[in-house]
Structure 1
Amino acid sequence: MDLLSVFIQGLTLGLAYLAPIGMQNLFVINSALSHRLGRAMATALVVVFWDVSLALACFFGAGALMSAVPWLKNIVLGLGGVLVICIGIGLIRSEADLSCDKDVNQPFAKIILASFVVTWLNPQAIVDGTIMLGAFRATLPPGSDPLFIAGFATASFVWFNALALISNRLGSKINVRVLTWVNRICGIVIILYGLKLLSTLVQL
């Protein structure tokens, strides 16, 4: 696997993982629909910061644990593959929901805190991110870790900023039907990545 492929793998996985509607996306969408473009983009950048910081913690934290306990690698690969496939199947079968109880019409300091809450205080995001990113780190060639996580971070920056811009400009044209199809497409991509993890486990 060449270095560009590692970066692209991190980028595509990041986009497929972030695009389905979740707490962070709802927060960015509601902010974009409620504020002017400048405020919406600033909110998106704050979400990117917390999202990338969580990804780094999950990626390098899980990697350090597997380095210290080598037999965990196969377990994480197996659990990660199954988890990723389950996430993908769930996305394909689910309907998007645009309801959100987060108040985005508030001072910017509170928006920073609220974006931290929807990112770092989301137990499912922490568990899923640790297992998924840890599993993918186990498949990477030596020394390519920074490129993979750089691709994942780039996906976060591109996705949340694009989401804020498009939501702010399109407004009411964003509907549940469109977002449901986004979920389904991302579900298929995520399932393929899950199968890749299980394939690596079989090869080992």
Structure 2
Amino acid sequence: MMNHVTPFVSGFALSAALIMAIGAQNLFVLRQGLKGEHVGAVVLFFSLSDALLIAAGVSGVGVFLTALPKLATILTVGGALFLAWYGITALRRMTSTNAMSLTATERLSLGRAMVTGAAFTFLNPHVYLDTVLLMGTAASAQPEASRPFFAVGAATASFTWFAILGYGARLLQPVFTRPVAWRILDAVVGIVMLSLAASLVLSALNQAR
């Protein structure tokens, strides 16, 4: 039994360390949690997507992806465009003269929330770098029989974190009854998204050299 606990804990710890950094997925889940909008569906989608990518990394798909530089370039450019658009949208919300509150913020349909979540996940090369390549590399250091437990531990960290972030956001709802709080959040979202977009552009330029 203890032989299974160690790889599970290792996978959980590595995944938690990677996923808790401020990023596009986390900010989107936080915003949906604050609005109380499609929280369960968004949390489940991101968690299952992470689990799928972790399984792909552990099974060796990361090695396959590194052999397709053109695919990486396409994902990089597409991700940069999407993140830039989302960041600019957030900054425009921040400067809007309309009052913002939990009831007045723009509401997303379930379909649009899923499409946005898919874009944040599958158009972001950093997700493949962390979840597929890095997790796959770490898993390869484990004995073959232990790798499934490593993957389960990593996926469990994703489910745990997104659930805490999505459902725990309601604790901050009293703060976000004030428009200034939404402006600060949108400023953070805009800056993070544009920074990520810029890093992807730089990465694409380096790959082209």
Is the TM value for this pair above 0.5? Answer: yes
Aligned mate of 1:107, from 109, 114, 138:
109
Query: 2: distance between equivalents of 1:100 and 1:26?
Result: 15
- 1:6: Cα distance to partner? 0.6
Query: 2: distance between equivalents of 1:111 and 1:61?
Result: 30
Query: 1: distance between equivalents of 2:146 and 2:89?
Result: 40
Q: Matched residue of 1:144: which SS? A: helix
The question of 1:58 aligning with 2:57 is answered yes
Q: Matched residue of 1:2: which SS? A: helix
- 1:25: Cα distance to partner? 0.2
TM-score (norm 2): 0.59
Q: How does 1:122-133 map to 2 (within 5 A)?
A: 122-133=124-135
Aligned to 1:9: 10
Contact 1:63 1:138 in 2 (8 A): no
TM-score (norm 1): 0.60
Identical-pair percentage:
28
Structure 1: segments with no counterpart, 5+ residues: 66-98, 177-204
- 1:142: Cα distance to partner? 2.3
Aligned residues between the structures: 142
Aligned to 2:30: 29
Larger Rg: 2
Residue type of the alignment partner of 1:45: L
Query: 2: distance between equivalents of 1:47 and 1:4?
Result: 25
Going from structure 1 to structure 2, the CA distance change for 1:105 and 1:162 (only over 3 Å counts) comes to same
Q: Matched residue of 2:145: which SS? A: coil
RMSD between superposed Cα atoms in Å:
2.9
Residue type of the alignment partner of 2:141: T
Contact 2:58 2:139 in 1 (8 A): yes
- 1:64: Cα distance to partner? 6.8
Structure 2: segments with no counterpart, 5+ residues: 65-86, 91-104, 186-209
Q: Matched residue of 2:59: which SS? A: helix
Q: How does 1:124-203 map to 2 (within 5 A)?
A: 124-171=126-173, 172=175
